[in-house]
Amino acid sequence: MSGQSHDGLTPTGTIAGAADRRRVVLATVIGTTIEWYDFFTYAAMSGLAFGVLFFEPAGPQFGQILAFLTVGLSFLFRPLGAFLAGHFGDRIGRRQVLVVTLFGMGVATALIGVLPTYQVIGVAAPALLVLLRVLQGISAGGEWGGAVLMAVEHAPKSRRGAYGASPQVGVPLGLLLSSAVIAIVSMLAPGDAFLEWGWRIPFLLSVVLILVGYWIRRSVEESPVFTEIAERSAQTKTPIVALFRTYGVVVVLAALVFAGNNAVGYMTTGGWIQGYATNGLGLTRPEVLWSVAAGAIVWLVTTWFAGTLSDRLGRRTTYLIGWGLQLIGVFSLFPLVGTGQVVLFALGLMILSVGLGFTYGPQAAFYAEMFPASVRFSGVSISYAIGAILGGAFAPTVAEWLVQTTGGTGAVTAYLAIMTVVGFLATVAFRDRSGLPLGIDHEAEQARSPLRGVGVTD
C-alpha cells in the first residue's frame, strides 16, 4: 500500500485496495469487540459478583463501592497506555501497537478468570485483581487510537465517518457479547453456582477470542498515512512533547467532548445499572443482562448510522444533534428503570443508547481530523484517555454514592445531565473539519487550529 495516498488513491487517481479496506474494517471491528468484551466483562462482574468475592470484609454496601472503584482505577492508567501507544504508534506504526494491546488485554482478562477469591488467599486476592485491572486499563488506553486511525486513514475522504464508525461499533458489540455470555452463564449456573464458579467462564473465554483477534489483525497492512511518514523518515522524535507544546488546549477540549458521552455510557458499560437493577429493584441477572444487550444493539446501530451521517452533515452537526438526544435519554432513564418492570427497564436503556450512539459514531473521524499526521496517534489516544478519566472512570462510583447518600436517583440524573451539557459546550468550541486531507503533505493545513476563533501554527 506504499503507493497509496492518505485518501486511499493510487498515483493515477483511482481508488485502490477495496479488499484491503474491507479487511481493515473487519479487523478493527473484531479486534475492538474483543478488547471491549474483556473490559466490559470486568465492569459487569463488578456490579454482579466482585463486591462479594473480593471485598467481602467491607460489607455489602462499601464492598460494592470498592468493586466499582476498581473499575475507575483502571482509567487512571489509560493515559499511560495512551502515552506509550501514542509515542510508538507515531514512531513505529499503528499496526504493531494494536497487536501488543490486544495481547495485554487478553492475558489480563484470562488471569482474572483463574484468580483465587478473598476466602482463599485473603487480601492478596483484591490486590491481584487491582493489578490485572491496571493492565487492562493500560491496554485499553493504547487500543482505541490505533484502531480508529487504521480505519480512518485507510478510508476515502468522503466516507471517513462511516469507516471511523467501525472501531466505534466494536464497543457496543463488546458490551453485547459480554452481556450475552454472562446472561447465558448465569442461566447455566444460577444462584450460588454463579458466585462459586460461573463468573469465571466469561473471563476464560477471552483466550479463544484473543487468538482470533491476533490472526485477523496480523493480516492487515499498515496505515497508508504512517507508511508515507516512514518512507520520508518524517516521524517526530518526541510526538507527545510536540503535541502538548502546540495542541494542549485542543487535547483538553477534545477530552471534554468524550467525557460527556463516557459518563453517561458508563451507567451500563461500567456495571452500575446492572448492580442497581439486581440489588435494588429485584430484577434477575438474566433479565438485566438481556436488557443491557438490547440497549447495546440500539447503541451499535445508532453508532454506525451517526458515523455515516457525519459524512453528509459534518461531524460537529451530528454531534450537536446527539447531545440533544442524549439529554432526552438521561431524563427518560430512571422514570422507566425505576418501575422495576423488565420491559420498561430495557426501553429506558434503549432510549439512552440512541443519544450515546450519536455522540460516539462520529468521534473517530472527528478526532483524527483535529491533529496533524505526525502527532495524530498521540493526539487521539491521549484525548480519549483523559476524556475517559473525566467521564466514565468513576461515574459508577459517583452514581452509587449519590444513591446511597440521597436515597434516590434524582441526583444521578442531574450529574448525567451536567456531563451531557459539558460535552455539548466542548463540541461547540470546535470547527467542523470534515474532509480535511490527512496525509503528511498537508501537515501545514492540519496545523491550523480546529478551535473556533483560535490560530495555531507550528
Q: Is residue 290 part of a domain?
A: yes
Q: Is residue 103 part of a domain?
A: yes
Q: Is residue 372 part of a domain?
A: yes
Q: Which domain holds residue 143?
A: 18-446
Half-sphere exposure of residue 452: CA atoms within 13 angstroms, side-chain side: 9
Q: Say which residues have a Cβ less than 8 Å from residue 4's Cβ, sequence separation at least 6.
A: 10, 16, 17, 224, 227
What is the overall mean pLDDT for the chain?
85
* Residue count of the chain: 458
**Looking at residue 286, what is its pLDDT?**
87
**Looking at residue 34, what is its pLDDT?**
83
Q: Is residue 188 part of a domain?
A: yes
3-class state of residue 23 by DSSP:
helix
Q: Domain with 417 in it: what CATH number?
A: 1.20.1250.20
What is the phi/psi pair of residue 431, to 5°? -80, 160
Q: Is residue 454 part of a domain?
A: no
The DSSP result for 380-399, as a single string, is: HHHHHHHHHHHTTTTHHHHH
Counted domains in the chain:
1
Q: Is residue 456 part of a domain?
A: no
Confidence of residue 320 (pLDDT cuts 50, 70, 90): very high
> Residue 71 in contact with residue 43, Cβ under 8 Å?
yes
Q: Is residue 110 part of a domain?
A: yes
pLDDT tens, position by position, 406-422:
988 999 999 999 999 99
**Looking at residue 92, what is its pLDDT?**
64
* CA dihedral of residues 107, 109, 114, 119 (deg, nearest 10): 130
Residue 359 has pLDDT above 80, yes or no: yes
What is the phi/psi pair of residue 371, to 5°? -120, 150
What is the phi/psi pair of residue 15, to 5°? -70, 130
pLDDT tens, position by position, 170-209:
888 988 899 889 989 999 998 889 999 999 999 999 888 8
Residue 218 has pLDDT above 50, yes or no: yes
How many other C-beta atoms lie within 10 A of the C-beta of residue 92? 14
Q: Is residue 452 part of a domain?
A: no
